[in-house]
Amino acid sequence: MQAILEKAIKKGLNTLYNVHVESVEFQATRKDFEGDITVVVFAFLRFIKGNPVAIGTQLGEYLKTYVAEVTDFNVVKGFLNLVISDTYFITAFNHLYATPNFGFKSIQEHEKAVMVEYSSPNTNKPLHLGHIRNNLLGYAVSEIIAASGKKVYKTQIINDRGIHICKSMLAWKRFGNGETPKSSGLKGDKLVGNYYVAFDKAYKKEVSQLIAEGKTEDEAKKQAPILLEAQEMLRKWEAGDKEVVELWKTMNQWVYDGFNQTYKELGVDFDKNYYESNTYLLGKDVVAEGLKKGVFYKKEDGSVWIDLTDEGLDEKIVLRADGTAVYITQDIGTAIERFKDYDLDELVYTVGNEQDYHFKVLFLILAKLGFEWAKNLYHLSYGMVDLPSGKMKSREGTVVDADDLMIEMTNTAREISQELGKLEGYSEAEKEALYKTIGLGALKYYILKVDPKKRILFNPEESVDFNGNTGPFIQYTYARIQSILRKAAFNYAVNVSKNSIVLHKKERALIKQLQLFPETIQQAAKNHSPALIANYTYDLVKEYNSFYQTVPILGCENETEKIFRTQLSKKVGETIKLAFQLLGINVPERM
């Protein structure tokens, strides 16, 4: 409609005022005025001298005369509100009703792909609440970009090496007595995490003992025997010691198996895993090449640096004096490898905002090294998630375990659903499946509806509210629509003629909201923001509930109107399901 109007407005302004404008600014008409689309007349005052109300009135008369879809207009100050015909809206609805996956664009195979990195955990402890926001964001952004028409690769880099891994390994050797996930009944990531905690307890005990023997705190922290043994284990791992490497492989596999269970419960997946044990040496050759080009410089101690003070940053080390790499060296090498492995247009890093500086430096270095694609690197930076004090703390009292949180959300959904008492006729298995759908839907929606950059205070009970801007409220509306469709004992699979009914204003509002879905997907992909999809869906559901409460659907006496309203309900349900699919949220058929 905007394309039709823009062409007509440009022609009208040329005819009426002999001016040429390059673009026309449109807005949605405010709900307190009559109209479907608004033209901003103020924007034309650069080209036309005169009263904006008079200009708007003349332009409105022109459009009403020459554009069939414009049936009326009104002017409020510098805004021209246009009323669009029922014929247009019914024709437009018939088109979108007949379009499967309306709003989704087919993947353009000839275009370069986008890689989205998320999760990227350490193999010494289970996933926690921060990982949940990371995974939900990364997965949703991947799905949204794919729906916008691009090939997407979902990836993670697993931090499977280093002193922290050796700490868990050493503690297991000392205290484990051969314990395994099978013998203990624990998930592998939790078992290994327990030994990381066990190491810390033993280390603190040794530090206290050394201090009591007269060592300074700094000396004691460096000389604790268990730490020295862990450092020796790391040296053996790097040297390829067979026994250490075998233990490393065994315990890491326990963790991978545990992670995979959590990912499955959370509903996220990956196309490619990178492992730090395979990538930690990457980038050293690039640094050597950068030294030759003068991108980097060497200090007297042999360490290699880059000076970014002209860019408002500072100096950054890229290679230690002993020749070992730092994290950014590896990230340089990994980025280059990914662009070699895949025909990428963009690489998105889903990492918390505490790493904002790191990624500014990384992207600058890659640009200075001459990689053209460096301008297409994007840091999807997000804020922390906090919980109200005392809620769902782990045994250590500091970290909220991801598995525990998902179980807690299911339990919260169970309690609230049972209080509401709406589950008559459900089997126990059906109830449990529904509690999980509601609980995880509440968790995911609550996190994803917020702009990624903002910090979140996550309240479990508030998230499972069946009213307001929540996942369960939207899920309930979807279930209500499915109930309507099950009760529709007539054939509604017929096209409604464009001249057969007069649209109610609630029907027009719903069609306009449905029409926004394709553009919302494109904007969400461009801005890497699942919040745009979440809040679009909430607006759609509000419009539908207003429609549902205002006009009869199955009880409508006019057969054509009854068919149309049932079709409208069905399409709203399909759009809710598609939108929630992009967010990784399931919808229940009954609720």
Domain borders along the chain are: 2-84, 162-267
Q: Which amino acid, 47?
A: F
| Tokens read off for 55 | 């200009």
- The whole-angstrom separation of Cα 13 and Cα 58 is 10
Q: At what angle do helices 327-341 and 284-293 cross, to 10 degrees?
A: 100
| Distance between CA atoms of residues 99 and 93, nearest Å | 10
Q: For strands 344-352 and 113-117, give the pairing.
A: parallel
Please identify which residue in the block is written with the tokens 């790391």: 234
Measured N-to-C along each axis, helices 428-448 and 402-420 cross at an angle, to the nearest 10 degrees, of 120
**Bridge partner list, 26:** 39
pLDDT band at 389 (very low <50, low <70, confident <90, very high): low
User: What is the predicted pLDDT for the residue at 435?
Assistant: 95
Q: Are 50 and 58 in contact (CB under 8 A)?
A: no
Residue type at 406 in one-letter notation: M
**Average pLDDT value for residue range 168-178:** 96
| Residue count of the chain | 591
User: At the fourth CATH level, which superfamily is domain 2-84?
Assistant: Arginyl tRNA synthetase N-terminal domain (3.30.1360.70)
Position 392 scores a pLDDT of: 43
Q: How far apart are CA 19 and CA 10, in angstroms?
A: 8
Closest by CA position to 234, among listed 302, 163, 340, 170 = 163
Q: Which residues of 98-124 are buried (b: 16+ CB within 10 A; e: fewer)?
A: eeeebbbeeeeeeeebbbbbbbbbbbb
Q: Is 175 left (phi over 0), alpha (psi -120 to 50) or beta?
A: alpha
539's tokens = 């607006």
Give residue-wise pLDDT tens across range 439-496.
999 999 999 999 999 999 888 888 998 889 999 999 999 999 999 999 999 999 888 8
pLDDT tops 80 at residue 161: yes
Residue type at 331?
A: D
How does pLDDT run across 527-584, given as a tens digit for each residue? 999 999 999 999 999 999 999 999 999 999 999 999 999 999 999 999 999 999 999 9
pLDDT band at residue 398 using 50, 70 and 90 as cut-offs:
low
What's the pLDDT at 15?
96
Q: Count Cβ neighbours within 10 Å for each residue of 451-483 and write b for 16 or more, e otherwise.
A: ebeeebebebeebbbbeebbbbbbbbbbbbbbe
pLDDT digits (tens, 9 = 90+) for 492-519: 988 888 888 999 999 999 999 999 999 9
Radius of gyration, CA atoms only, the chain: 30
Give me 522's structure tokens. 């494109």
Residue 230 tokens read as 């862990």
14, 47 Cβ separation under 8 angstroms: no
Closest CA to 503 of 92, 89, 95: 89
DSSP state, 310? G
What the block records as the tokens of 137 is: 């964001």
Query: Of 484, 457, 470, 459, which is closest to residue 563 (Cα–Cα)?
Result: 484
Our separate counts of H helices and E strands in the chain read: 22, 14
Over residues 334-349, the pLDDT tens digits come to 999 999 999 999 999 9
Q: What is the mean pLDDT of the chain?
A: 94
Which tens digit of pLDDT belongs to each residue from 8-41?
Answer: 999 999 999 999 999 999 998 998 999 999 999 9
**CB-side exposure of 364: number of CA atoms within 13 Å?**
20
Q: Are 572 and 485 in contact (CB under 8 A)?
A: no
Query: What is the arithmetic mean of pLDDT over 165-179?
Result: 96
The percent of residues above 70 in pLDDT, for the chain, comes to 98
Q: In what order do the strands lie in the sheet with 344-352?
A: 272-275, 152-158, 113-117, 344-352, 377-382
Q: CB-based burial of residue 248 (10 Å sphere; 0-12 exposed, 13-18 middle, 19+ buried)?
A: buried
For residue 391, pLDDT over 70 is answered with no
Note the pLDDT of residue 371.
96
In degrees rounded to 5, what are phi and psi of residue 574? -60, -40
pTM of the model: 0.92
In one letter, which amino acid is 239? A
Beta bridge partners of 114: 152, 346
Q: Helix, strand, coil proportions of the chain in percent (round to 5)?
A: 55, 10, 30
Distances (CA, A) of 158 to 270, 357, 367, 440: 12, 21, 25, 25
Does pLDDT of 394 surpass 60?
Answer: no
